[in-house]
Amino acid sequence: MFESIYSAFYNALDAIFLPMVQTMDPAIFIFVTALLVSFIINLATKVLVNQDRMAELKNELQEFQVKAKKASKDPELMAELQKEQQKMMTMQMEMMKMSFKPMIYTWVPIIIIFAYLRHVYDFGGIYHTMQPAWDGAIVQLPVIISKIIFIGIWHWIGGIFYHGGFGVVSSTVLGWLGWYIMCSMGTSMVLRKLMGIK
């Protein structure tokens, strides 16, 4: 039963995205996907979260943290801060609720996109079937960048949880997941600034 559901799910997504997968370089397709996902998440955040209130909460919490550092040397100030602590905890809870609100709407689409990227670019996936000699490499980074972002450590961690498949091609190469994460972090930071998200 689940097999037929999976098959229908992937067939529907293939009907939409397979022409792009077949014609676009994997690095570009994954970058565009990460950009679109980041845009959707940031748009949801912009629409669903009161940005002014979020900025106000962040400022008040930062002020409290500064006072708390000073209070470690001043018992009188510490007693005063303990009275404010409950208010700060309430503010943190409000901030957390505001941050989770967009996730309610974006969680399922993100899971679907990840499942599809895995379906396409994982070992034995569509792209591997189209290009049997492909070794899973999406991008080759300069050595200095691969050292800065600790690719070797990420490969080691991946080896603990993921057995089989392509394996590590090189200490400067990223597969689909590593490239997606890198693109997602970069595009998300840029979009947050452009969209004025606090």
Strand ranges for 50-159 from DSSP E: 139-140
**CB within 8 A of 85, min separation 6: which ones?**
none
Q: How do residues 177-197 score in pLDDT, each as one tens digit?
A: 889 999 999 999 999 999 988
Residues of the chain with pLDDT under 70: 161-165, 167-168
The closest of 145, 148, 157, 151 to 170, measured between CA atoms, is 151
* pLDDT of res. 10: 93
* pLDDT of res. 117: 95
Q: How do residues 117-144 score in pLDDT, each as one tens digit?
A: 999 998 889 999 999 998 888 999 999 9
CA dist., res. 131 & res. 127, Å (int): 6
Name the packing angle between helices 75-121 and 2-23 (round to 10°).
Answer: 80
Give the pTM: 0.82
Domain boundaries, the chain: 2-133
